[in-house]
Amino acid sequence: MNFAPALIALAPPITYTSVVLDNACGPGVITDEIKTQSISPARLCAVDISPGMIETLRQKALPGVEAEVMDAQKLSFPDDTFTHSFTNMAIFLLPNPEKGAAEIYRTLKPGGVAVVTSIKHVGWPRIFQAAQRTVRPEAPLFNGMLAEEWATKEKLDAVLQAGGFLSDDISITTIESSMQGALQKPFVDSIAAAATAMITEGWSKEEKQQFDLVLQEQIQVSMADSQVFEIVVWAAAARK
């Protein structure tokens, strides 16, 4: 599952005069793709609030990459710095997404383009839903860790407009991909406890124990290489 080439293609071509931000970069997926394509912008900055993520990126020793620990809600760059700004799979994780959008807008040059993504649909909640149906088939099905409003195009559009972008300057499309279960297992394992707490709130001790057992069985079965889970993202290209 690599959306990076498609996301980069949503913005104008990156050239030797471009100034690029990989915002809330995580391990540097966008940065990696830019370097893979042998693109050499005038400046390439990758920032994330997690020191661990930035250290992971720095260990790659990618030439010409400025990797810094930085909060996406309080970027330290001056106004009108970047020609290209990418915020991939992060805006919905910010405590204040509108503030994050305002920082994207502030640091973008006039005429620059920001590409921002949110999640429309993912397939992995089916693992938890199968366990739910076994224990409490009448319970509302779990659909993921994000608020349902983020599954809509309108939510991403509204957040970007709240940040300063004009409606006519925002274009939103969908990008689809998939991932083998074995590759997604580390993520599912990492959120299993939090998801279980959400799903089983108010359940009896016996029901919770049964759910834990069934869920682990489902994870083992569903995370096999033969299982594939879809993912669809909303991808916005917004011009300042």
Q: Which of 25-39, 109-123, 216-230 has the lowest mean pLDDT?
A: 216-230
Higher per-residue pLDDT: 20 or 221: 20
pLDDT on residue 1 = 58
Indicate the length of the chain as a whole number: 240
pLDDT range class, residue 164, cuts 50, 70, 90: very high
Q: Which of 114, 147, 117, 171 is nearest to 2 (CA)?
A: 117
Through-space distance between the first and last CA atoms of the chain, rounded to whole angstroms: 29
Q: pLDDT value at position 225?
A: 63
Question: Which tokens sit at 59?
Answer: 């260990």
CB distance 149 to 119 below 8 Å: no
- Tell the burial category of 162 from Cβ atoms under 10 Å away from its Cβ (0-12, 13-18, 19+): middle
DSSP state of 235: E
What does residue 90 show for φ and ψ, rounded to 5 degrees?
A: -140, -30
- Which of 71-75, 209-213, 229-233 has the least mean pLDDT? 229-233
Q: Is the pLDDT of residue 116 over 70?
A: yes
Helix, coil or strand: residue 38: coil
The Cα–Cα gap between 240 and 210 comes to 52
**What share of the chain in percent tops pLDDT 70?**
99
Structure confidence at residue 211 as a pLDDT band (50, 70, 90): very high
Domains, the chain, ranges and CATH?
4-239 (3.40.50.150)
Comparing C-alpha atoms, which of 103, 222, 238 is closest to residue 167?
Answer: 238
Is residue 75 pLDDT above 70, yes or no? yes
Measured CA to CA, the distance from residue 47 to residue 70 in angstroms comes to 5
Mean pLDDT on 222-226: 72
